[in-house]
Amino acid sequence: MSTWDPAEPVIELQNIHVIHKSRTGTMFKRDTVHAVNDVSLQVRKGHTLGIVGESGCGKSTTARVMVGLQEATSGTVLFKGKPVARGAKAQKEMGMSVSMVFQDASTALNPRMIVRDTLLDPLNVHGIGSPKDRLDKVKDLLAVVGLPLSALDVLPRQISGGQRQRVAIARSLALGPDIIVADEPTSALDVSVRAQVLNLLQDLKAALGLGLVFISHDINTVRYISDTIAVMNAGKIVEQNTTAEIFDNPQNDYTRTLLDSVPSLI
Contact string 15-54 vs Mg ion (x = CB under 5 A)? ----------------------------------------
| Calpha distance 223→226 (Å, rounded) | 6
Instruction: Say how many CA atoms lie within 13 Å of 210 toward its Cβ.
Output: 28
Name the pairing type of β-strands 236-242 and 82-83.
unpaired
Query: What is the nearest approach in angstroms of ligand ATP to the Cβ of residue 61?
Result: 3
* 240 contributes a contact to Mg ion by CB under 5 A: no
Which helix (H) or strand (E) is 257 found in, with range? helix 253-260
52: DSSP letter: E
* 241 contributes a contact to Mg ion by CB under 5 A: no
* 24 contributes a contact to ligand ATP by CB under 6 A: no
Give the SS3 label for residue 18. strand
Name the pairing type of β-strands 179-183 and 211-216.
parallel
| Calpha distance 89→196 (Å, rounded) | 36
* 44 contributes a contact to ligand ATP by CB under 6 A: no
Residue type, 164: R
Query: What is the nearest approach in angstroms of ligand ATP to the Cβ of residue 53?
Result: 6
Q: Which of 8, 14, 33, 236 binds ligand ATP (CB under 6 A)?
A: 33
What does 162 bind: ligand ATP, Mg ion, none (CB cut-off 5 to 8 Å by kind)? none
Contact string 59-78 vs ligand ATP (x = CB under 6 A)? xxx-----------------
| Calpha distance 238→220 (Å, rounded) | 18
* 222 contributes a contact to ligand ATP by CB under 6 A: no
CA-wise closest residue to 2 among 77, 97, 66 = 97
Q: Where are the beta strands (DSSP E) in 87-235?
A: 98-101, 179-183, 211-216, 228-233
* 217 contributes a contact to ligand ATP by CB under 6 A: yes
Backbone angles phi, psi at 153, to 5 degrees: -105, 15
Query: What is the nearest approach in angstroms of Mg ion to the Cβ of residue 213?
Result: 13
Question: By C-beta, is 105 or 138 nearer to ligand ATP?
Answer: 105
Q: Which of 49, 57, 60, 172 binds Mg ion (CB under 5 A)?
A: 60
What does 58 bind: ligand ATP, Mg ion, none (CB cut-off 5 to 8 Å by kind)? ligand ATP
Residue 214 β-bridge partners: 50, 182
Q: Which of 10, 16, 43, 57 binds ligand ATP (CB under 6 A)?
A: 57
Binding site for Mg ion (CB under 5 A): 59-60
Binding site for ligand ATP (CB under 6 A): 20, 22, 33, 35, 53, 55-61, 217
